Amino acid sequence: MKKKKIQEAVPVLLFLGLVLGMSLWSVVKPQTEKSEAENRYLSKKPKFSVKSLVAGEFGKKYETYLSDQFEMREEFINLKTRIEVAMGKSEINEVYLAKDGYLIRHYERDSFRKETEEENIEYLAEFAEKYTALMGEDHVRIEIVPSAATILADKLPAYASNYNETAFIEKLKEKISSKVLIDASEVLKDHKEEEIYYKTDHHWTSLGAYYGYQAYNKSLGLPVKELSQYSKEVVAKDFYGTNHSRICYAPSPDQITAYKSKDSVTYEVIYDRLFANTKPEDLTVFHSLYMENRLKEKDKYTYFLDGNHAIVDIKTSNQNGKKLLILKDSYSHEMIPFLAENYEQVTILDYRYFHTELSRLMPQENYTDLLVIRNTAKLLQDDTVFMYTF
Amino acid sequence: MVFSSLLFLFRFLPVVFLVYFLLLGLGRILKLKDRQITKINNSFLFFASLVFYAWGEPKYVVLMLFSTVVDYTCGYFTGKYVDRDKKKTARIFVAISMCINLGLLCFFKYRGFFLDNVNHFFGCQIQYKDLPLPIGISFYTFQTMSYTIDVYRKEAPVQKNIISFGSYVVLFPQLIAGPIVRYQTIADQLNHRVHSVEKINYGIRRFMVGLGKKVLLANNIGMLWTTVSAYGGDNLTSFTAWLGVFAFTFQIYFDFSGYSDMAIGLGEMLGFHFLENFNYPYLAESITEFWRRWHISLGTWFKEYVYIPLGGNRKGKARQILNICVVWFLTGMWHGADWNFILWGVYFGVLLIFEKTFFLKVLKKIPAFFRHLYALIFVIGGWAIFAYPDVRHGHEFVKALFGQGRAGFINQNSLYLLSQYAVMFVIVIIASTNLPAKLGKKVIAKEGCLRMVGECLFILLVFLASLAFLVNASYNPFLYFRF
């Protein structure tokens, strides 16, 4: 009889132990600022007030806090993904678990605001017209880089679909002169068997960016350096990118490779000069296009040009009078090292973080060339493209 | 607050559990009488349940307290006059209770629907303010009405302690989504409850069954329904529509029965015993049987308090048919203030009349497989009506089901959805039969260590897996604010 009682009691104690233990721990454990794996700030315990309680606000915030600060949160999310994979799912939280260990972001038409597509085509066309008239057709380029889902479509799960980026690029081609518009998908498709996209991140790799640079230089009739002319460096072997962050799971990590110039060009890089409150002479000058210390963080992609900044100025040791202005998103970060060594100066603008009119910036430096580098998916989410035309 | 949340599992539940059993132990140490201990515990449950309810909607606590006071008072006077054989006077108090409860229900749940229709059909422009529906109002008003009626019928004694009565009305396990516990079921338990390790053990396992059903099965298959129901006519092939309605069929079952399981389990932990609410409804071989297996507490309520008082089947066939019509119109209406719910109720009313008049006899003669198939087809057909409060959208959906949609029979996307959910479908089909329970019983039948280990493993696995999905619920990584 007594033995039976104990056998009844053990599962009860297990359950109580789990619930009470985890509850207690969640009360006493220190709060975490940021989730490295998810790459975002976590919500903290909300401040209590009668007003927010009555409005029901406190309750909601408290629940978010509980979930955000939950112990081993990332491990639990990983477990969830694994359960779903075991149940035959090949898409989780809008990430395809594609062939060969690729995690590919899934977009559909309604992933984007309806009007943005048409508007941005118009703005880019207006931009191309305005600046080709100003600088000449040989000095203005718009390079469009499709996402992995388009180029690596063969790797997607069976019957999977994705937003038709090719059709979007075709629409751009109708409005913008074929000399100005560079469709990177052509060269990328030729090399789709190579590792041109990260497996766990939404960006292309340095190799992909090299082909992007190739397309750009060819379009301008400039010589293209062979890959063997660079020294290839694997700078990180355990990179887990943004698509990993969405599901806390990846079959294998990525390597980050940088192709560094063997020539003796030197750089002076200044970040956010228009934003700093400090005097120009106090701005920190970096002598590399790469940020070594970023490799210690989760988002190692920021190794290239320190991630997103509103404005970056690069002065090189070249004295050829060529000055390039780039309007971009983060796809450009890996391509710029290939470009920079051919110019005397490169200025990089990201209009998602920046509001000064282009027409006011242009005359300050006599830019000789103008380049837009945009990834399709990022372009379709961007409501600041109208700034290109001002 | 809902059971399947971190807040409930790691804040509410541990505190309530600890305090409840501390009070119980303290009472025993102080050698209080059982009745006194139960009263103290009832007061605590009353208070805890109010917190539980107030978490999502603090303002409507007032409404529930009002309902409690009204029914306590009405029940008190009903009981008083029934005892003195003044049935007519007692009836007045039953009527008051019903008017106030139904009045609340109508005002909060059906006012908008009623006025919309008046405006639509008579071309009026009556304005009204949209109020959020008080959570659980359909459940607790039905419960409190059962109290006064049970007292009137002498099926339950008057509850003299308002706190004990209040703890019945607001009892958190069944407050929000049932089962609709009739007062007579727990009248005795409010004054006297048995607590034992066996009951807690059973309660925990039952709670885990429910949590798993809700978080692992209903939510996951529900994602397919969410996807399909968002499709417009251009994307909705017949095949996709059928996948969608199958998904909804399983989602609603596991969601609802999972909630009932959790309620029953929590009740057991606290010493209550509620009646079963589901009994493998998708194993039914007729619609009549389906409704004996689906949301049993609601069916019983309508049977006991509407169908039988109206005369049931004792006043001839014609009257019986009328009674069925009334009950099923109301059942449909109870589920929501929209035409599709009424249509859904009437649909089942018609099927039931059809079966009662002759079809059940026909069914007996055909093989069990076809009986089962017949029942399933019409149950699933019912869900197609139920799923769309927007009649126009629902119409488009039903058209697609019958191959009349714009998108044709099948497309690449249909196959994609099938490939994503095929395994899940196999799991939910098996889980909706009595096979897992049979398997579980086989393990439980074995006394001793094997059983203990089995129970521990079950609790641990369901708990951890459910947590993995719950933690992720708010998971919305804000990756792109930096890119």
The predicted structure's pLDDT at residue A277? 64
The predicted structure's pLDDT at residue A12? 92
Mean pLDDT value across chain B:
88
The predicted structure's pLDDT at residue B262? 94
Contacts of residue A226, Cβ cutoff 8 Å, sequence gap at least 6? none
Q: Average of pLDDT values for B292-302?
A: 92
Is this complex scored with an ipTM above 0.95? no
* pLDDT digits 0-9 by tens, A202-233: 999 999 999 999 999 999 999 999 999 999 99
- Is the bond preceding residue B179 a cis peptide, omega within 30 degrees? yes
Chain B residues in contact with A88 by the CB 8 A cut-off are: 419-424
Chain A residues in contact with B422 by the CB 8 A cut-off are: 88
Separation CA A31–CA A70 (nearest Å): 9
Rounding to the nearest 10 degrees, give the CA dihedral for residues A33, A37, A40, A46.
-40
What does the DSSP 8-state code read for residue A69?
T
* pLDDT digits 0-9 by tens, B391-442: 778 888 888 888 887 888 899 999 999 999 999 999 999 999 999 988 888 8
CA A30, A32, A36 angle in degrees (round to 5)?
Answer: 150
The helix or strand, by DSSP H or E, that contains position A96, with its residue range, turns out to be: strand A95-97
Give a yes or no: residue A8 inside a domain. Answer: no
Place of tokens 């056998």: A7
The helix or strand, by DSSP H or E, that contains position B369, with its residue range, turns out to be: helix B368-386
pLDDT higher than 70, residue B479: no
The helix or strand, by DSSP H or E, that contains position A364, with its residue range, turns out to be: none
- Band (pLDDT 50/70/90 cuts) for residue B184 is confident
Give a yes or no: residue A17 inside a domain. Answer: no
Nearest of B262, B44, B249, B16 to residue B167 by alpha carbon: B44
- For each of chain A's 390 residues, which pLDDT tens digit applies? 677 888 888 989 999 999 999 998 888 888 887 777 676 778 888 888 777 777 777 877 888 888 888 888 888 999 999 999 999 999 998 999 999 999 999 998 888 888 999 999 999 999 999 999 989 999 999 999 999 999 999 999 999 999 999 999 999 999 999 999 999 999 999 999 999 999 999 999 999 999 999 999 999 999 999 999 999 999 999 999 999 989 999 999 999 999 998 888 999 999 888 765 667 677 889 999 999 999 998 889 999 999 888 889 999 999 999 999 999 999 999 999 999 999 999 999 998 887 778 888 777 778 999 999 999 999 999 988 988 888
Separation CA B28–CA A384 (nearest Å): 70
Contact A87 B204 (CB under 8 A): no
The predicted structure's pLDDT at residue A27? 85
pLDDT higher than 60, residue B481: no
Nearest of B260, B254, B265 to residue B214 by alpha carbon: B254
Place of tokens 């006025």: B115
The predicted structure's pLDDT at residue A109? 86
Give a yes or no: residue A63 inside a domain. Answer: no
Contacts of residue A338, Cβ cutoff 8 Å, sequence gap at least 6? A209, A210, A213, A225, A259
Give the one of A4, A54, A161 whose C-beta lies nearest to B412's C-beta.
Answer: A161
| Residue B254: count of CB within 10 angstroms of its CB | 27
pLDDT higher than 80, residue B48: yes
Letter for the amino acid at A294? Answer: R
pLDDT higher than 80, residue B482: no
Give a yes or no: residue A25 inside a domain. Answer: no
Residue of B10, B459, B463 for testing the chain A interface, max A β-carbons within 10 Å = B10
Letter for the amino acid at B380? Answer: I
Give a yes or no: residue A202 inside a domain. Answer: yes
- Band (pLDDT 50/70/90 cuts) for residue B364 is confident
* pLDDT digits 0-9 by tens, B110-162: 887 888 888 888 877 777 777 777 888 888 888 889 999 999 998 888 888 89
Residues A278 and A126 sit within 8 Å (Cβ to Cβ)? no
Whether A39 has its CB under 8 Å from any CB of chain B: the answer is yes
Cα of B271 to nearest chain A Cα, Å? 15
Least confident stretch, B20-29, B446-455, B463-472: B446-455
Count the domains in chain A.
1
Residues A329 and A379 sit within 8 Å (Cβ to Cβ)? yes
pLDDT higher than 50, residue B243: yes
**Pick the catalytic residue: B120, B192, B295, B335?**
B335
Among this protein's residues, is B335 annotated catalytic?
Answer: yes
Nearest of B369, B14, B341 to residue A15 by alpha carbon: B14
Contact B482 A308 (CB under 8 A): yes
Q: Using CA of residue A318, residue A353, residue A144, residue A100, what is the dihedral sign?
A: positive
Residues 262-301 of A with CB under 8 A from B: none
Give a yes or no: residue A311 inside a domain. Answer: yes
Domain limits at A364?
Answer: 100-389
The predicted structure's pLDDT at residue A66? 84
Task: Give the SS3 label for residue A299.
Answer: coil
Mean pLDDT value across chain A:
90
What does the DSSP 8-state code read for residue A181?
E
Q: Nearest chain B residue to A5 by CA: give it.
A: B197
- Band (pLDDT 50/70/90 cuts) for residue B475 is very low
The predicted structure's pLDDT at residue B232? 77
Residues B284 and B375 sit within 8 Å (Cβ to Cβ)? yes
Residues B151 and B75 sit within 8 Å (Cβ to Cβ)? yes
Q: Average of pLDDT values for B317-335?
A: 89
Separation CA B245–CA A186 (nearest Å): 43
Helices (H) and strands (E) in chain A, counts: 13, 14
Q: Helices B197-211 and B238-269 sit at what angle, rounded to 10 degrees?
A: 160
